A = this chain, B = another copy of it.
Amino acid sequence: MPTIEDVAKLAGLSPATISRVINNHPYVSQEKKDIVAKAMKELGYVPNSNAQRLRRQKTETIAVLIQRIANPFFSQLVESMDIIADRNNYKLLICQTNNDKEKELKYLNLLKTKQIDAVIFASIENEWSIVEGFLKYGPIIFCNDFAETAPVPIVCLDQYKGSYIGTKHLIDRGYKRLSYCGGSKATCLSRDRRAGFMAAVKEAGLNVSDQWLFKDALTIDDGKQILREIASMDNRPDAIFTGSDEVAAGLITEAKRHGITVPNDLGVLGFDDQPIAELVEPGITTIHQPVRKIGIKAMDVMIDILVSKKKLEHQFIQLPFHLVVRESTR
Contacts and interface: CB of A to CB of B under 8 A. Distances in A.
Could you tell me the dominant secondary structure of chain A's interface residues? helix
**8 tightest Cβ-Cβ pairs between the two chains A and B:** A50-B53, A50-B54, A75-B75, A49-B113, A70-B79, A281-B281, A49-B115, A70-B75
Contacts of A281: 256, 280-281
Interface stretch (A4-12, A89-97, A167-175): A89-97
A314 interface: no
A72 interface: yes
A68 interface: yes
Given A72-B72, A78-B69, A92-B94, A48 B279 contact: no
B72 A79 contact: no
8 contacts: A46-B113, A49-B110, A50-B59, A69-B78, A92-B94, A93-B93, A276-B279, A280-B281
Contacts of A103: 86
A152 B233 CA distance: 58
Interface string A269-283: 000000110111100
A68 to B, nearest CB: 6
A82 interface: yes
Interface string A38-67: 000000001111110110000100000000
Contacts of A114: 48-50
Interface in A88-141: 91-94, 96, 103, 109-110, 112-115, 137
Given A220-B279, A276-B276, A280-B279, A113 B48 contact: yes
Q: How many copies does the complex hold?
A: 2
Interface of A: 1, 46-51, 53-54, 59, 68-70, 72, 75-76, 78-79, 82, 86, 91-94, 96, 103, 109-110, 112-115, 137, 220, 246, 249, 252-253, 256, 275-276, 278-281
A50 B56 CA distance: 10
A82 B74 CA distance: 15
Contact of A279 (B93, B115, B253): B253
A98 B294 CA distance: 20
Contacts of A253: 278-279
A1 B276 CA distance: 48
A115 B50 contact: yes
B249 A279 contact: yes
Given A46-B112, A94-B94, 8 more contacts: A46-B109, A49-B114, A50-B53, A50-B114, A72-B75, A78-B94, A82-B96, A220-B279
Interface centre among A46, A68, A275 (most CB of B within 10 A): A275
A72 B220 CA distance: 15
B96 A220 contact: no
A322 B150 CA distance: 50
Contacts of A279: 220, 249, 252-253, 276, 279-280
